[in-house]
Structures are given as C-alpha cells and as structure tokens.
Amino acid sequence: METVLIAFILMTLSGILLGCIIGAAAKFFFVKSDPRIEDVNEMLPGANCGGCGKAGCSDLARAIVAGECVPGSCPVCSLAVVGRIAAYLGVDAGSSVKKAAVVFCGGSNSKARKSVNYNGINDCISASLIAGGPKDCRFGCMGLASCARVCPFNAIEVIDGLACVHSDICTGCGKCIESCPRKLIRLVPETAPFHVYCNSPEKGVEKKKNCDVACIACRKCLKAAGEDQMKIEGFLAQVNYDNMPGADVIEKAACPTSCISSPENHFPGTLKKENAAR
C-alpha cells in the first residue's frame, strides 16, 4: 500500500512540475505568426500535390499571404475557392485556366504492335532502358503505370496497356509529367474539345508499321480546322491550345487512323477504383 502511495504522489508531482515547465516554455518561446496563413491553409485543398511549385499547401498559403503568389497559383482549387481566398485577403485572384493532364498516345495493347515480351521491373523508366521498351513504337505509352502510381488523386488508370487520365478527377498538378520517360503527358486546357493522341515524330509509314492509331500527317484535320488552330510538327499534327478548334473538326476531318478523338471517346467508361493506381 505504501509503495503504491509513494508512486502515486511521485507521478502526480512530476506531472505538475513538467506541466509547469511546458507552460512556461510556451509563454517564453512564443513565435508570433500571421493567423491569416492558417486560415488560407484551411481553404486550400490540403492535398500537398506540389502542382503550384511550392513545398506543399501550407507553403503556398504562406506565399499567398506574403504576396509572393496570387491565389490562382493553386492549380487544384476551384474558381470559387480562389475567389474566397482573394476576397479574404483582399487581393486580386489572378487568372487560372483549369488544366488537365493528357497522355498523348492511343497505342493500347490492341492497337499498337508489341512484338516481344518484356520481363523486368514494373516501371516505365526502367523498362525504357531494356531494348527501348516493350512496345515497338519508341515514342508511345508503355503501359507500366508509373504515372498512375505517382498521381496523388488516382486520376490515371491503365486500360489495355495504355495510361488514360480521368480529366474530371485530374487537378492538373502535373506530378505525372516527370514520371513519364517518353514525355507523353502534357498539361492542356481542360476545355479542349479533342486531342491528337500520338507522340511519334517518325514518318507516317514507319509509324503505321508499329501502331494502328498513329498520326500519319495526312493534314485532313488541318484543312477541317480553322486558320492557325492546328499545326504539323515533324509528321505529327497538333492542336494549338492557345487557339482551340471547335468540336466539329472531329467529324469534318474524319481522321483515317482515328488518332483524333475527344477525351470522352478516347477513354470511355468511368473510373474503376480497383483499376486505378494502388
């Protein structure tokens, strides 16, 4: 009984003592910080995706309050949230076009030739070191899901050996861009009506050997689109995202290889959670 009592008293005393020390320390070493940073941080999405180029959401909040960045720097926030932050701080919201990542390749397993079997690390960068990658096309998607694994929002899914971005989930943070050894992923305005799903600068004949849906630079789409709305670079048609063509171009151009497609048609169906990145 005596021992229990001693232990009890000792613990209580030391608890009170330590509590006092902590309380005193909090008073003496108090660092004054701007409470607005905490409030802005609350409003930001908190995904810490790094899409803004800062170390995370709280770092961006600090930068916004300090005036280094405009609230629109966050690529993930909706316009309403950006407006709320701007109103709270009384600053200009800054313009931000909602962008989404697009994988510029249509070469799924059923469309692109894959003459040999790859056996090795399940990672695109590593696979590209072995005989130039598993598929015959050296410029297309390898389908090993490196981008899907880095996506913080599970917006990328690999279907039939081809990475597809769910533009409704994609926040345009841009993390996937670095992970692709083929540089297939670019951020483009989400409102673009269609994309040219090909990345190969090779000649049409060469590309056609490797893939059914390659752009063969036939220029049909250029004729269908308005002036300066599309361009051709090295046997590869591209949408000019600063001056976007209308959705009717898909119909009018009647792309012979179906390389041109709207995001919805390119990737039918909804996100299957189990197929998305682990």
> Segment near another protein (CB under 8 A), from 22-30, 122-130, 182-190, 218-226?
122-130
Candidate residues 3, 116, 205, 227; the one interacting with another protein per rule CB under 8 A: 116
With respect to another protein, which residue has the nearer C-beta, 120 or 256?
Answer: 120
Q: How far is the CB of 162 from another protein (least distance, A)?
A: 20
- CA terminus-to-terminus distance, the chain: 56
CA dihedral 252→197→177→86, nearest 10 degrees, is: 20
Regarding 110 and contact with another protein (CB under 8 A), the answer is no
Please name the amino acid found at residue 135.
K
Regarding 138 and contact with another protein (CB under 8 A), the answer is yes
Look up tokens 């330590």; give the residue.
Answer: 18
Of 79, 210, 84, the closest CA to residue 139 belongs to 210
Chain CA centroid to CA 215, Å: 24
Q: Return the SS3 of 43.
A: helix
> Segment near another protein (CB under 8 A), from 85-93, 128-136, 213-221, 229-237?
128-136
**Tokens coding 114:** 């894959």
> Segment near another protein (CB under 8 A), from 11-19, 57-65, 89-97, 127-135?
127-135
Q: How far is the CB of 88 from another protein (least distance, A)?
A: 37
With respect to another protein, which residue has the nearer C-beta, 125 or 277?
Answer: 125
- Find out whether 113 and 195 touch, Cβ atoms under 8 Å: no
Q: Return the SS3 of 16.
A: helix
DSSP symbols for 150-215: H-TT--EEEETTEEEE-TTT-----HHHHH-TT--EEEEETT-S-EE-----S-HHHHHHHBTT--
Regarding 134 and contact with another protein (CB under 8 A), the answer is yes
- CA dist 180 and 183 (Å) reads 5
Regarding 51 and contact with another protein (CB under 8 A), the answer is no
- Site for another protein (CB under 8 A): how many residues? 19
With respect to another protein, which residue has the nearer C-beta, 12 or 122?
Answer: 122
With respect to another protein, which residue has the nearer C-beta, 3 or 115?
Answer: 115
With respect to another protein, which residue has the nearer C-beta, 113 or 252?
Answer: 113
With respect to another protein, which residue has the nearer C-beta, 134 or 245?
Answer: 134
Regarding 121 and contact with another protein (CB under 8 A), the answer is yes
In the complex, the residues that contact another protein under the rule CB under 8 A are: 115-123, 125-126, 129-134, 136, 138
